[in-house]
Amino acid sequence: MTPDDLVLTPVGLRFQGRMFPCSIGKGGISDQKAEGDGATPRGVHRIVGMLYRPDRLACPTFWAAPIGPADLWSDAPDAPDYNQLVRAPYRHSHECLRRADPLYDLVIVTDWNWPNAVAGRGSAIFIHQWRRPGYPTEGCIALSRDNLHHIARALRPDTRLIVR
């Protein structure tokens, strides 16, 4: 473990010597993550991408990719592109990345069940903005806007998220 790892602890997300309040999945932390269970998966997860809304904020780092109007994330276990970035029109179950609310204005993507997804094991685990302090997610990790942006600017593509 290094100071540049994101480490989920019982009191928040530790990164570079600081503790950041965060929310986790409404299903708690799980060793047996499944699609739709609302749990945050235990384990060591690599940061594999960062997405942002260019119409709402400046690019946070050189390796971040813009979220376009047609960008979606497949959460359909029976689809060949399950747990992948896809584009509209898309006939399978999916989540819109370009949301009306600010939750996905900045999204840090982990390698949970990616790139070779196992059907039903759960789709994307993102780090994104929270609705409000303490409000649970569907399995992702959520932070205040300011803290999310602070962390995003300091991340490297090889940073790890450690969930104990």
Structural domain of residue 85, as residue ranges? 6-163
Residue 64 lies in a domain: yes
Residue 79 lies in a domain: yes
Residue 22 lies in a domain: yes
Residue 1 lies in a domain: no
Split into its structural domains, the chain has a count of 1
Taking the C-alpha atoms of residue 1 and residue 78, their distance in angstroms, rounded to an integer, is 36
103: CATH: 2.40.440
Taking the C-alpha atoms of residue 64 and residue 52, their distance in angstroms, rounded to an integer, is 7
Q: pLDDT tens, 68-83?
A: 999 999 999 999 999 9
Residue 94 lies in a domain: yes
CB count within 10 Å of CB 38 equals 18
Q: pLDDT tens, 85-114?
A: 999 999 999 999 999 999 999 999 999 999
For the whole model, what pTM was predicted? 0.96
